[in-house]
Amino acid sequence: MKDVVAFWDVILSDGVHKIEFEHGTTSGKRVVYVDGKEVIRKEWMFQLVGKETFCVGAPETKATISILCGKGYVFNYILEIEGKSFRKFMENRSKTTNTWVLHLDDKDFRIVLERNTMDVWCNGKIVETVGEFVDDGTETHFSVGNHGCYIKAVSSGKRREGLIHTLVVDNREIPELTQ
């Protein structure tokens, strides 16, 4: 039976990953699970506080759980992703990615655009793309099954907003997922 004391859902380009942490406060046991799979197990740790570092997802994103002791042996568990607090990482991620969810041919697809690299992910895998300049911006073309897709980037006309990205599948605009 698991003694999970903390858990987080981490959204990456390859999908949503569940991180669970077990901490035995008398034995010092530490167990980290990513998507239900055990990635770290340490039994009988004499030091009850410390850090555990591991990787999450296909891009092998670095994550660290810090174990801190508060008053009266109350423990706090803090997750950092790529050196940033979980909250800060998620805020930055929402500024650097666009996500769309669509249903085609009786299957669900999750499309993610990483704006800083222009990588396009489909259901956890990077897809091959071809970019082209068009009159009002750029289009990044790729396929999902037998369906032609592209992500159109156009200027918002406002300096602080930058580019607006739109997913088009079979000449139909797909609404962006709000996280």
Domain ranges in the chain? 4-82, 97-174
Question: Three-state DSSP class for 72?
Answer: helix
Q: In CATH terms, are 4-82 and 97-174 the same topology? A: yes
pLDDT band (50, 70, 90) for residue 157: confident
What distance lies between CA 21 and its chain's CA centroid? 18
* Structure token pair of residue 83: 């050196």
pLDDT tens-digit map of 11-26: 999 999 999 999 987 7
Q: Is 96 helix (H, G, I), strand (E, B) or coil?
A: helix
Ramachandran sector of residue 35 (left: φ over 0; alpha: ψ -120 to 50; beta: rest) = left
pTM of the model: 0.82
Minimum mean pLDDT range among 2-6, 61-65, 128-132: 2-6
Domain 97-174 has CATH 2.40.128.180: yes
* CATH value of 4-82 in 2.40.128.180, 1.10.1740.10, 3.10.20.30, 1.10.8.420: 2.40.128.180
119, pLDDT greater than 90: yes
Q: Is 15 helix (H, G, I), strand (E, B) or coil?
A: strand
Q: What is the mean pLDDT of residues 97-117?
A: 94
Longest C-alpha distance within the chain, in Å? 66
51-103 pLDDT, tens digit each: 999 999 988 999 999 999 888 778 999 999 999 999 999 999 988 999 999 99
